[in-house]
């Protein structure tokens, strides 16, 4: 399977079931994939330094997934490839009172990186078309009638349009979005939940509440399918990454991040003749010591 097979750019109708949760790579190939990830991380480190020095483009790596799909470990891996000074992580939890008092892009805006930086969104405003849809939370919003007086499809189609416009505006203002869905199977999620229950060192990762979304799996998959299908564009494509084999998913994600950074092609700033002359003077001074 290639990274391109995971890409969804809106050029054809999107069906989640066309995207496997596992590439079924033989286990024996795991070391080769891990070596590839390490290689990609090295490349990422070099590119990030350039991105920072160049300072013209901001990068958002946005992760959405069902629980236990591997968001946290993916983030840890991406982070291990970059200089912590240029990267941040923002986790989007149940909105606080202040957050809920604003429009749903507000907290994402606050979290946007400066140009030259990378910000990882652990969940995002896409929760506002996923959990908010599946749990019907939008019915309880404190908003005027004109914002809510419509049926579900109309309401979320309106949000998809808002998201497309938002992401387009970001792109036009010097941002790149890398949108990733870690596509885990219901069967694999069960195995990972059981491991969280059975292994003491993993107990802290388990919450009984996680079984709620699991019990609404088909509704979540339908919400993901609609959201991904309607917010994929050539500038802001989605990548649906098979996540049942974590090491395989990490290799693809690292390849993707490198690919996008290479597309940005950040350059070290050119030094002006004047600045070079000053530098040469400093050099002479140092050599004379």
Give the number of other Cβ atoms within 10 Å of residue 223's Cβ. Answer: 19
Give the binding-site size for ligand ADP (rule: CB under 6 A). Answer: 13
By CB under 6 A, name the one of 49, 127, 225, 235 that touches ligand ADP: 127
Residue 67 makes contact with ligand ADP by CB under 6 A: yes
By CB under 6 A, name the one of 88, 95, 155, 217 that touches ligand ADP: 95
> Please, which residue, 20 or 95, has the CB nearer to ligand ADP?
95
By CB under 6 A, name the one of 4, 85, 94, 274 that touches ligand ADP: 94
Spatial distance between the Cα atoms of 212 and 69, rounded to a whole number of angstroms: 15
Min separation Cβ 218 and ligand ADP, Å: 17
By CB under 6 A, name the one of 120, 129, 132, 252 that touches ligand ADP: 132
Decide: helix, strand or coil at residue 153. helix
Spatial distance between the Cα atoms of 66 and 181, rounded to a whole number of angstroms: 9
Closest residue to ligand ADP, judged by C-beta, is 127
By CB under 6 A, name the one of 56, 93, 190, 281 that touches ligand ADP: 93
Spatial distance between the Cα atoms of 55 and 264, rounded to a whole number of angstroms: 11
Residues with Cβ within 8 Å of residue 132, at least 6 apart in sequence = 138
Tokens read off for 13: 């109708």
Min separation Cβ 211 and ligand ADP, Å: 12
Residue 131 makes contact with ligand ADP by CB under 6 A: yes
The CA R_g of the chain, rounded to the nearest whole Å, is 21
Instruction: From 45-53, 128-136, 196-204, 257-265, give the range in contact with ligand ADP by CB under 6 A.
Output: 128-136
Min separation Cβ 47 and ligand ADP, Å: 27
Tokens read off for 98: 């202040």
Min separation Cβ 94 and ligand ADP, Å: 4
Instruction: From 90-98, 109-117, 229-237, 247-255, give the range in contact with ligand ADP by CB under 6 A.
Output: 90-98
Q: 3-state SS of the chain: helix, strand, coil percent to 5?
A: 60, 10, 30
By CB under 6 A, name the one of 14, 33, 92, 206 that touches ligand ADP: 92
Decide: helix, strand or coil at residue 234. coil
> Please, which residue, 55 or 213, has the CB nearer to ligand ADP?
213
Position of tokens 């590119």? Answer: 47
Spatial distance between the Cα atoms of 241 and 187, rounded to a whole number of angstroms: 16
Residue 122 makes contact with ligand ADP by CB under 6 A: yes
Q: Choose among 5, 14, 129, 113: nearest CA to 59.
A: 113
Min separation Cβ 52 and ligand ADP, Å: 27
Spatial distance between the Cα atoms of 215 and 189, rounded to a whole number of angstroms: 12
**Contacts to ligand ADP by CB under 6 A:** 67, 91-95, 122-123, 127-128, 131-132, 137
């Amino acid at each position: 399977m290639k990274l391109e097979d995971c890409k969804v750019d809106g050029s054809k109708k999107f069906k989640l079931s066309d995207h496997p949760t596992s590439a079924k790579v033989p286990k024996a190939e795991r070391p080769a994939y891990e070596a590839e990830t390490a290689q990609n991380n090295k490349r990422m480190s070099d590119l990030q330094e350039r991105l920072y020095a160049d300072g013209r483009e901001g990068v958002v790596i946005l992760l959405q997934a069902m629980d236990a799909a591997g968001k946290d470990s993916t983030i840890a891996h991406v982070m291990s490839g970059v200089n912590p000074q240029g990267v941040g992580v923002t986790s989007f939890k149940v909105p606080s009172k202040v957050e809920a008092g604003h429009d749903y892009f507000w907290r994402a805006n606050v979290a946007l990186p400066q140009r030259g930086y990378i910000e990882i969104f652990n969940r995002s405003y896409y929760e506002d078309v996923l959990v908010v849809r599946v749990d019907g939370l939008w019915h309880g919003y404190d908003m005027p009638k004109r914002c809510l007086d419509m049926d579900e499809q109309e309401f979320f189609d309106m949000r998809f349009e808002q998201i497309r416009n938002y992401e387009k505006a970001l792109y036009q203002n010097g941002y790149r979005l890398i949108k990733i869905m870690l596509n885990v199977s219901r069967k694999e999620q069960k195995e990972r939940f059981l491991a969280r229950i059975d292994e003491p060192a993993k107990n802290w990762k388990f919450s009984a509440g996680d079984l709620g979304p699991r019990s609404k799996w088909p509704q979540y998959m339908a919400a993901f399918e609609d959201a991904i299908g309607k917010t994929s564009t050539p500038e802001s494509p989605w990548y649906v990454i098979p996540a049942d084999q974590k090491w395989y998913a990490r290799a693809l994600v690292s390849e993707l991040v490198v690919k996008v950074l290479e597309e940005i092609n950040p350059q070290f700033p050119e030094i002006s003749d004047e600045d070079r002359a000053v530098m040469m003077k400093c050099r002479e001074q140092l050599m004379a010591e």
